[in-house]
Each structure stands twice: as C-alpha cells, then as structure tokens.
Homo-oligomer: A and B are copies of this chain.
C-alpha cells in the first residue's frame, strides 16, 4: 500500500512520499527472499572462479539465453492440467525466476528487461481474467491463470522471487503497473479471495501462505506476512506456523508419504528461508524443535538407492534428485554444514543458484562430502506422532548400495492418495526392490494412458489391499476401501528397537476389519553365520468369527523353485477373484504344501536369490498370481505374487523368514548358494515371549526371542535354559541336541 503510493498525484504527495521513505527504511533492500544481497555479492564473485557453482551458472545462463530469444508468450488461460496454456504459464514463472537470478549474477540488464516485459504482459492480462474456464464445477479453489488455485500459488511463489530479483532495475511506473495490476491482485485473490484454501492446514494452503507471505516481504505488506503466518484472522488456527505444527509429525514425517512429502517440502523450505532472511528474530528454523530441517532429512531417509519408498500413490522413479529435495538439501546444508548432506547433493547432481547453493558448491569443490549415514527409524505419523508410524529398518548402512532395508507401514491412511495397506511391508537389497509395492497406476502426462492421470486401475487395483504385502480378510480391502473411514483410524505402533544385532518393530490394528485384530511383528537381524540379515515376519490375525485370510507377497524376479509341488495352470488362465483387486490377478498355479516348512525362492535381477520360508499346516493354500487380468488397455505391469491362504479360521499366525542368499552371475559364469540355508522354522510363545527357532542346513540352531512386554525386558527359559532379554529381542545360538 505504501510503496507505490509515491506515484499518487497532487496534494497528498508529500504525505505519501514520507510514508514511502519510512517503508524503504523499515524493510530490507532487494533481493531478500531466498537469497539476500550479501548472498548475491558472494555469488557474483563465485561465477568468476571455476567450480561447481560457476558450472551451474554457465549452464543455466545458456539455457536462459536460448529461452529469452523466443517471443514472450502470455496466453489467455484456456487449457486444463497438461494443456498448452497451463504448461506455458508454468514455464513462464520458472523462466522469470531463472532470468531474474541470471540478472542478479551477470548484472546484465537484458535479463531484467525480459522479466519486466513478461511481468508487464501479465499485468495487462490479469485484470481481465475471471475464473478459469476449466475449473472444476463447484470447486472451492479455482484459479484464474490455472484451472486450480494451487498452480496459481506456485506461480506466485516463483514470480514474487523473480520480481524481487529485478525490482531495483524497474522504474516507478513499472513497479506500479506490476504491483497494482498483477502481484497484489494475485496475492489478494489467493488470500482474502480464498479463505478456505489459504487457512487450510494442507499442502495447498502452504503454497498459498508462502506466496502471499513472500509477496508481503517484497511489497512491504507486513499484514500479509502476519496473515500468512497466523491465518487470515491472525488467530493462529491456520497459517504457515499451524501447517508446520500439523502437517508433519514431530519427527518430520508427512502424512501422505515421501512422494508427496518432497512436493510439500518446497513451499515450506522456501518460505522459511525467506522468513529467516527477513525476520531472523522469528528463529523459524528452530520452530517446533527444528521441524523444517527434520522434514528435509526425513525425506532423505525415506529413500533407498536414490528412490523414494513408493508407498501410496507414488510414481516409482521419483527420488532424491527431485528439485524440491535439491532445494531442501541446499537450505539444510546452509543451516547445518552437515557433510553427509553433501553426499546427497553429489547424487542430486544439481547446484542451485542461491546463497546456500554457493555454500554447497564450494564444499563439494573442496571435497568435503562424507557418506550420508542412513538410520533405522520409526517415524511417528500424525501431528503428535502417535497415529501409527512408518518404520524403516536398515542393515549394513555404511553403504547405500548394498544395504538391506525393510519398510513397515503401520501408518495412518494419508488422505486421498493413501492406499489400503495397513501393516504392509517392503524389502530391499543390493539396490533393488525384492518384496515390492506396486505404487501408483499412472503414466504421468502420457495422453494415451487415460490422459496421463491416475488410471482406473489405480483404484481398482493399486490402492486395494491385495496389491500390498499384508493380510486381506474375506477378499475385502481394509476399511472396505473407504478413505473417510481410513482417515479416522490408524494402527498402533507397539514397539520399535534398533541395536547392533538388528531392528525389530511391531504394530496392530483392529479397525481395518470389524471384529478382526491384525498384529504384525517384523525384524531385520543378522545371524552370526549368515552373510546377510534375515527378515522375520510374524503376522497374527484374530477374530470371533471364521474368515478367509490371505497374506500376499509381491516379489520381484523370476521364480526359481519351491520346496513343494505346484500345480500350474498351463492351458487356461482365470482371474483369482471378482473384485477388490482380485479381478486383476491371473491365477497361474496353486498348491497345498505338506505341514512343515514351505519355501519359495526367486532370483532378482540384482543377481541375488531370495527365499521366503514359511511355517505351514496341512491346510494352507499357496496361490501364485500374475497381474494383468481384466486389464483391457494393458495398463498394468505384469508383476508376480504368491498368496498364503487360510480358509474358515478365527485365528491364525503366519510366520515366515525372508533370506537373501547367493549370487547368480552368468556373465562371469558362476552361481553361488542358490539354495536356502534354512532347514526348519518353529514358532512358539510363552508368557508374552515369542520364539522363532530356526535350523540351518549345517546343523546350527538359533533362537530368536521377542518380548512383548512394555519394558522391552523379560526373563524366560527355553529348553530348560534360562535367558534374559534386555532390549526387546535376543538371538541365541542353541546347543545341538545330542
């Protein structure tokens, strides 16, 4: 309100000019959002030295040089997501931001002029716009430039930064034109114009508060900053700080999972950095015990071999090199100077042109990177961290490439993109998925595949329980696949412990199916004699009524062998079921193994073998499936699974051990240990202690004992010998019986 007031004419000129000066004095000079003037000075020096930073500068400048030769195109909004005008406006804000930064670093006016001219075009267009023609009917959050206001908020986050970067090159008329006709109207549209979105404690709200708050800094509207931080009514019920409190768990886990977490990260990190530069007294990075930083490192921790764990509606090729996490790691390094973050920066292969980006670049130039140390962690879910958890257990964490990881998901539903997969798990080894999750059924932006949107099979298969590695009761999905019910209920994490021998976790839920309790304990532990850790799985299903219980395991690789006879369907294939995802599974073989140990071995294309050894009674069916039935458009990947099925039981405990072993190297023409080392598994329990006894082919016998006691401690005797558990579990080598 103040700064463009100097262009008001006539008698109140003096008064307003005075205010304008006050304003200039009370807020920092430009630029001062993510990068400050001090940052810019250092960056200007760095582009003349060889190194990561100047390389990044040269590359971006070359790209911008090419783009600004094209005519400026600011089309009248017409298309929905993926369409021409949509994509053009997205490219425009990115280009304005990049050109603005190149202007600051090169001090070459042509870049500022390009941004100015584009902003003026927008300033001409914007006042003429009504709501977007492709907005959804009855939408709460239509945009003007875009079909939804989310994109408009993203546009503002970039554009306000671009404006800040070129601000000092503009004359008074230009400033007035751009602020009055474009930036202020956009900011007002996204705040006062859409209170329900702006105040919403949701990632869409974060983009809006970030854009409006940053606009407040740049255009000296302190009220906007206050509203962005504390809700339109400044009550603190909504706004950025509330979002920081509610959208992440205390450990920095974002309810929808890592694929969405990295997306949500962007406005949090960007706005927080702008707050830090403009109002350091807020100590925003210390807010809620450093939640912004935790959100960044948690996003890293939720990856394996560079890719995010693909829970919920995740596209599997998304990983730590995503631009949102590049920004996050850059800011985090600027804050912490943690050399492990440089390892991630190295893998990201992208330096961004900001003050923190310069710090990262210089540190990489100096070779300061040290290997990032992944941890085994139970990330509590929900604002208070008590709505279940997402648990990552890792072994051999010194090297990311060969480490094993086990992901356990007793997490909350995670809103509309959540899958009905309570207590599911995934396993990773030697860089690859071994026990896998389908992720989202979607070919992003591929028009021929349902317009590039989520495919119908995302609902009919990928979200359904059978698509995951967890129990399905009576061929129905958890919560009967009702998101609202799912959002209201969550599993309970019973325990999580990690120590030198391995990690263990347990959780339960009794709301996935009415009258049915599901309790699963998973452990990843090393046995002294085995090169790689074993994954123990104890899944208890309990009900008052009899049910059919299926426990599927989706494996990646080629089936090598089973310890039992299979009857394969060689002449005809039929779907396994009629609905809830079952209709998409071809039944390829079935078995009823004899009581004892049932083993299934597959070969992953990482060259290792994996054997799942299960205890079976005489009445367990094993079904083998391949995905692809009822898929007229060939939308699904033809992946493989096996399912342990118990019919008509009130209670059952599935006990199994997953064992990575051996090596298949046809290039070097050798094959090692293609067969499991396990010869038997026995499960029992006594006084709250559970026992899994395993025997190896060489005669060794081990007892894996777990206490369910709250204290994590227990005393017990086994085969008449007394033992003690101090830390939730114990591995004991048993003496061989005579």
Chain A residues with CB under 8 Å of chain B are 315, 317-319, 321-323, 443-449, 452, 558-561, 566, 568, 570-575, 586, 588-589, 601, 603, 624, 626, 628-634, 637-638, 664, 666-671, 674-675
Q: Is the CB of A568 within 8 A of B448?
A: no
Knowing A559-B634, A601-B448, A603-B446, say if A667 contacts B573 (CB, 8 Å): no
Knowing A449-B560, A601-B448, say if A666 contacts B315 (CB, 8 Å): yes
Nearest-neighbour CB distance to chain B for A670, whole angstroms, equals 7
Q: Is the CB of A674 within 8 A of B448?
A: yes
Q: A670 contacts which of B445, B631, B634, B675 (Cβ < 8 Å)?
A: B445
Q: Considering the chains assembled together, what is the distance between the CA atoms of A449 and B603 in angstroms?
A: 11
Q: Considering the chains assembled together, what is the distance between the CA atoms of A572 and B587 in angstroms?
A: 10
Which residue on chain B has the smallest CB distance to residue A607? B317
Q: Which residues of B contact A603 (CB under 8 A)?
A: 443, 446
Q: Is the CB of B634 within 8 A of A671?
A: no
Knowing A319-B667, A443-B664, A671-B446, say if A575 contacts B568 (CB, 8 Å): no
- 8 additional contacts (CB under 8 A) given A559-B634, A588-B634: A322-B668, A445-B666, A448-B601, A568-B633, A573-B573, A588-B628, A589-B632, A626-B628
Cross-chain pairs A/B with CB under 8 angstroms, 21 sampled: A317-B666, A321-B667, A322-B667, A322-B668, A323-B668, A443-B558, A443-B603, A443-B666, A444-B664, A444-B669, A445-B669, A446-B603, A447-B675, A448-B561, A448-B601, A448-B674, A449-B560, A558-B634, A566-B632, A571-B630, A624-B634
Nearest-neighbour CB distance to chain B for A217, whole angstroms, equals 28
Q: Considering the chains assembled together, what is the distance between the CA atoms of A281 and B321 in angstroms?
A: 60
Q: Which residues of B contact A561 (CB under 8 A)?
A: 448-449
Q: Which residues of B contact A447 (CB under 8 A)?
A: 674-675
Q: Is the CB of A318 within 8 A of B446?
A: no
Q: A572 contacts which of B570, B574, B628, B669 (Cβ < 8 Å)?
A: B574
Q: Considering the chains assembled together, what is the distance between the CA atoms of A558 and B319 in angstroms?
A: 21
Cβ-closest 7 pairs across A and B: A448-B561, A445-B671, A573-B573, A559-B634, A568-B632, A444-B666, A315-B666
Q: Considering the chains assembled together, what is the distance between the CA atoms of A80 and B560 in angstroms?
A: 22
Q: Considering the chains assembled together, what is the distance between the CA atoms of A304 and B254 in angstroms?
A: 44
Q: Please indicate which of the listed interface residues A323, A666, A671 has the most CB atoms of chain B within 10 Å of its own CB.
A: A666
Chain A contact surface mostly: loop
Q: Considering the chains assembled together, what is the distance between the CA atoms of A664 and B317 in angstroms?
A: 11
Nearest-neighbour CB distance to chain B for A448, whole angstroms, equals 4
Q: Is the CB of A671 within 8 A of B637?
A: no
Q: Considering the chains assembled together, what is the distance between the CA atoms of A638 and B631 in angstroms?
A: 16
| This chain: copies in complex | 2
Q: Considering the chains assembled together, what is the distance between the CA atoms of A671 and B87 in angstroms?
A: 11
Q: Which residues of B contact A633 (CB under 8 A)?
A: 568
Q: A626 contacts which of B444, B570, B638 (Cβ < 8 Å)?
A: B638
Q: Which residues of B contact A443 (CB under 8 A)?
A: 558, 560, 603, 664, 666, 671
Nearest-neighbour CB distance to chain B for A16, whole angstroms, equals 45
Q: Considering the chains assembled together, what is the distance between the CA atoms of A624 and B452 in angstroms?
A: 23
Nearest-neighbour CB distance to chain B for A413, whole angstroms, equals 24
Q: Which residues of B contact A452 (CB under 8 A)?
A: 671
Q: Considering the chains assembled together, what is the distance between the CA atoms of A83 and B560 in angstroms?
A: 19
Q: Is the CB of B586 within 8 A of A573?
A: yes
Q: Is the CB of B570 within 8 A of A629?
A: yes
Q: Is the CB of A630 within 8 A of B671?
A: no
Nearest-neighbour CB distance to chain B for A155, whole angstroms, equals 16
Nearest-neighbour CB distance to chain B for A353, whole angstroms, equals 18
Q: Considering the chains assembled together, what is the distance between the CA atoms of A634 and B446 in angstroms?
A: 33
Which residue on chain B has the smallest CB distance to residue A316? B666
Q: Which residues of B contact A574 (CB under 8 A)?
A: 571-572
Which residue on chain B has the smallest CB distance to residue A667? B317
Q: Is the CB of A446 within 8 A of B664?
A: yes
Q: Considering the chains assembled together, what is the distance between the CA atoms of A449 and B561 in angstroms?
A: 8
Q: Please indicate which of the listed interface residues A318, A568, A631, A670 has the most CB atoms of chain B within 10 Å of its own CB.
A: A568
Q: Which residues of B contact A631 (CB under 8 A)?
A: 568, 570
Q: Considering the chains assembled together, what is the distance between the CA atoms of A666 and B323 in angstroms?
A: 13
Nearest-neighbour CB distance to chain B for A311, whole angstroms, equals 16
Nearest-neighbour CB distance to chain B for A731, whole angstroms, equals 29
Q: Which residues of B contact A637 (CB under 8 A)?
A: 558
Q: Considering the chains assembled together, what is the distance between the CA atoms of A315 and B665 in angstroms?
A: 11
Q: Considering the chains assembled together, what is the distance between the CA atoms of A630 and B572 in angstroms?
A: 9
Q: Which residues of B contact A573 (CB under 8 A)?
A: 572-573, 586
Which residue on chain B has the smallest CB distance to residue A82? B671
Knowing A571-B629, A574-B571, say if A448 contacts B666 (CB, 8 Å): no
Q: Considering the chains assembled together, what is the distance between the CA atoms of A393 and B447 in angstroms?
A: 33
Q: Which residues of B contact A444 (CB under 8 A)?
A: 664, 666, 669, 671
Which residue on chain B has the smallest CB distance to residue A624? B634
Knowing A575-B571, A667-B317, say if A674 contacts B446 (CB, 8 Å): yes
Q: Is the CB of A448 within 8 A of B575?
A: no
Nearest-neighbour CB distance to chain B for A454, whole angstroms, equals 13
Q: Which residues of B contact A632 (CB under 8 A)?
A: 566, 568, 570, 589
Q: Is the CB of B572 within 8 A of A572?
A: yes
Q: Which residues of B contact A668 (CB under 8 A)?
A: 322-323
Q: Which residues of B contact A446 (CB under 8 A)?
A: 560, 603, 664, 671, 674
Q: Please indicate which of the listed interface residues A318, A448, A624, A629 has the most CB atoms of chain B within 10 Å of its own CB.
A: A448
Q: Which residues of B contact A323 (CB under 8 A)?
A: 668
Q: Which residues of B contact A675 (CB under 8 A)?
A: 447-448
